[in-house]
């Protein structure tokens, strides 16, 4: 016997158990890593396959990214369960662990869960869809994708903007693309001494001759109010939503030409500066 009180045979048995356990756990570790890598790869493939399947079924493009994310995370959770089972963790224990972890994570990440819930509500109620231009209290852009946590927008200058779903869901949402037509209002000032009737007639002719202006509701030009040195006219018409900005820009250019051709003028704001010279200032010179 050695100084620990154990003979060589007992030491040999302990070493054998240790090496067998080490080899077994090492194999379990290698197998768990392989399961993790393969599971993560399969999850990505399953997501892409699900999105293609949804496209073949005619599922709305707004719903596809979120459904794909759900499929992705279902496969990842199953992969994690298989990895834990490699180390002898029972399924009931895994479910209990996941439940406790879910409760702890839910309390710690309330904002994240709110984003998930808001994303689900956006997909179900559809206040906007992919391709719509929206404005949620200053957060404006064209919707590119509605994800599980965030919505991706493209701003007017081409910049990509990621907005948490909860921020959009908790704000009033203006959807400029929801309706097929929009009303265009442009205010024009005409000098108070000019022929207002002639200006109105010329502007109505401009609206009538533009093929992009809809006949119903009928376009019109009316006097809105009186300003300092000018009478404000409102040029109003309905156009297709996709033509709104091109028509607005061109109308702003042509209105001035039409009004001037009718013998009227558009008064521009001017500021007159008068210098009063007193007798003291004159004497100081």
Closest CA to 63 of 126, 138, 152, 157: 126
Q: How far is CA 38 from the centre of its chain?
A: 33
Looking at residue 131, the DSSP 8-state letter turns out to be T
Which pLDDT tens digit goes with each residue over 133-174? Answer: 999 988 999 999 888 788 999 999 999 999 999 899 889 999
Residue 179 DSSP SS3: coil
Which pLDDT tens digit goes with each residue over 179-238? Answer: 999 999 999 999 888 889 999 999 999 999 999 999 999 999 999 999 888 899 999 999
Please list the residues that pair with 230 across neighbouring strands.
191, 227
- Predicted confidence at residue 152, as pLDDT, reads 92
- Predicted confidence at residue 36, as pLDDT, reads 85
pLDDT-based confidence at residue 279 (cuts at 50, 70, 90):
low
Position with higher pLDDT, 194 vs 6: 194
Helix 244-261 crosses helix 196-209 at what angle (to 10 degrees)?
A: 140
* Sign (positive or negative) of CA dihedral 191, 194, 196, 198: negative
- Predicted confidence at residue 1, as pLDDT, reads 47
User: Which domains are assigned to the chain?
Assistant: 8-108 (1.10.287.1260), 127-175 (2.30.30.60), 181-261 (3.30.70.100)
- Please report which helix (H) or strand (E) contains residue 190, including its range: strand 181-191
Res 280 pLDDT > 50: yes
Least trusted range by pLDDT, from 71-75, 240-244, 246-250: 71-75
- Predicted confidence at residue 17, as pLDDT, reads 66
Res 13 pLDDT > 80: no
pLDDT-based confidence at residue 84 (cuts at 50, 70, 90):
confident
Please list the residues that pair with 266 across neighbouring strands.
none
Average pLDDT score, the chain: 82
Res 2 pLDDT > 60: no
Which pLDDT tens digit goes with each residue over 245-258? Answer: 999 999 999 999 99
Res 14 pLDDT > 70: no
- Predicted confidence at residue 182, as pLDDT, reads 95
Res 128 pLDDT > 80: yes
Which pLDDT tens digit goes with each residue over 15-42? Answer: 666 676 676 777 777 888 888 888 889 8
């Amino acid at each position: 016997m050695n100084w620990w009180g154990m003979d060589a045979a007992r030491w040999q048995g302990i070493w054998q158990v240790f090496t067998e356990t080490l080899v077994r756990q090492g194999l379990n570790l290698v197998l768990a890593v392989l399961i993790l890598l393969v599971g993560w790869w399969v999850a990505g493939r399953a997501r892409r396959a699900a999105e293609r399947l949804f496209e073949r079924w005619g599922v709305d493009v707004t719903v596809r990214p979120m459904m794909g994310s759900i499929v992705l995370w279902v496969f990842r959770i199953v992969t994690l369960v298989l990895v834990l089972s490699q180390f002898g963790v029972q399924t009931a224990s895994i479910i209990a662990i996941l439940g406790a972890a879910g409760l702890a994570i839910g309390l710690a990440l309330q904002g994240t869960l709110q984003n998930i819930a808001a994303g689900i509500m956006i997909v179900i109620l559809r206040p906007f869809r992919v391709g719509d231009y929206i404005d949620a209290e200053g957060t404006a852009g064209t919707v590119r994708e509605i994800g599980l946590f965030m919505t991706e927008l493209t701003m007017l200058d081409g910049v990509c903007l990621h907005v948490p779903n909860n921020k959009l869901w908790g704000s009033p949402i203006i959807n400029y693309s929801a309706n097929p037509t929009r009303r265009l209002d442009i205010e024009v000032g005409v000098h108070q001494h000019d022929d207002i009737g002639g200006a109105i007639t010329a502007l109505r002719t401009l609206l009538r001759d533009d093929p992009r202006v809809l006949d119903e509701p009928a376009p019109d030009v009316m006097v809105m109010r009186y300003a300092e040195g000018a009478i404000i006219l409102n040029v109003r018409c309905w156009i297709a939503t996709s033509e709104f900005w091109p028509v607005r820009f061109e109308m702003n250019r042509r209105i001035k030409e039409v009004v001037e051709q009718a013998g009227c003028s558009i008064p521009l704001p001017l500021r007159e500066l008068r210098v009063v010279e007193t007798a003291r200032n004159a004497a100081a010179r």
